[in-house]
Amino acid sequence: MHVPDGFFDAPTSVATGVVAAAGVAVALRKARAELDDRTAPMAGLVAAFVFAGQMINFPVGAGTSGHLLGGALAAVLVGPWTGALCISVVLLVQALFMADGGLTALGTNITLMALVGAFVGYGVFRLALAVLPKRVGSVPVAAGLGALVSVPTAAAVFALLFAVGGTADVATGKVLAAMVGWHLVIGIGEAVVTALVVSAVITSRPDLVHGARGLAATRRPLLAEEVSA
């Protein structure tokens, strides 16, 4: 799933690298504002959760398998900035420690999966939530819609990047159609799993779901109150 080295030319790789670095820098600041000194352990553990979730492979036919991308899921569960940050950390760790995804393509991967994945997912989620009835039950549906849109959107951005800095002379329309079509199928699976996971978390700990704030009765852990006092 991760773009390897050499897929995009050097200028595109550097440009997406700059976009990714800027995005991660802002996400770091926003996440710290949201989590203060809890940022490092919380974001680290959520990143570990996303990574573990990605280890479950689903057969998608033709002998290949896909896995959860988790951009929309993370954005709904912990907020778009922390979510984007966690996915970026997952991609960084995969590139540096597991050789999954090229080092020069790291910027592209972060831009596509962390930034586009989390923010498009969260944007659609917010829009859907504004339209759907104001109930906790709407949150998983909106999260699923966010995932449904975010996956093909990331694929479309990939196709556009390929038109600008791709290393093969393939008509943009063909790449776009193939990528978006294929990822629409993946997006449906992603949407179903995202909605079900969000729904499961809301059932047990509604206070943990960032996207359900204001809708679910908040239940703050007693211990945290006492320590901060």
Total number of residues that touch other proteins (CB under 8 A): 76
103 secondary structure, DSSP code: S
Question: CA 112, CA 3: separation in Å to the nearest integer?
Answer: 10
C-beta of 135 vs 174, nearer to other proteins: 174
Residue numbers 141-200 binding other proteins by CB under 8 A: 167-171, 174, 189, 192-193, 196-200
Q: Which residues pair with 67 in a beta bridge?
A: 57
- Site membership for other proteins, residue 135 (CB under 8 A): no
Give the SS3 label for residue 2. coil
211 secondary structure, DSSP code: G
> Containing H/E element for 61?
strand 57-61
Question: CA 145, CA 210: separation in Å to the nearest integer?
Answer: 16
C-beta of 130 vs 178, nearer to other proteins: 178
User: If you search the block for the tokens 């809708």, which residue do you land on?
Assistant: 215
Whose CA is closest to 151, among 110, 112, 208?
112
Of 7, 119, 122, 125, the residue at the interface with other proteins (CB under 8 A) is 7
Binding track over 45-84 against other proteins, x by CB under 8 A: xxxxx-xxx-xxxxx----x------------x-------
Residue numbers 105-134 binding other proteins by CB under 8 A: 105
- Site membership for other proteins, residue 10 (CB under 8 A): yes
- Site membership for other proteins, residue 18 (CB under 8 A): no
- Min CB(120)–other proteins separation in Å: 21
Of 18, 22, 33, 98, the residue at the interface with other proteins (CB under 8 A) is 98
Q: Are 93 and 106 in contact (CB under 8 A)?
A: no
- Site membership for other proteins, residue 225 (CB under 8 A): no
Q: Which residues pair with 61 in a beta bridge?
A: 64
C-beta of 18 vs 196, nearer to other proteins: 196
Number of C-beta neighbours around residue 56 at 10 A? 10
C-beta of 130 vs 170, nearer to other proteins: 170
